[in-house]
Amino acid sequence: MKCPNCGDRTAVDLDMHSGGFTSDQSPVKECGACGLVWRVTVDAGVTKIDIIKPADRKN
């Protein structure tokens, strides 16, 4: 998946079930280039990007 901040494709799935962040439908992703942590959710047919942690650096 492409990072919504920098466009890099080195996103990593994070397994954070104990922290309550992720689910099977919307896994948490972290960008390997800029550090952004996000998840994509679909609510009533509308796709949204939820930013969990802002990027460490702008690319």
* CA 36 – CA 50 distance, rounded (Å): 11
pTM exceeds 0.85, yes or no: no
Distances (CA, A) of 49 to 32, 41: 17, 6
> Which tens digit of pLDDT belongs to each residue from 2-59?
889 999 887 676 655 555 554 566 788 888 889 899 988 888 889 999 999 999 866 5
Residue spans of the domains in the chain: they are 1-36
DSSP states of 1-30: ---TTT----EEEE--GGGT---SSS-EEE
pLDDT at position 54, please?
93
Tokens of 49: 């990007």
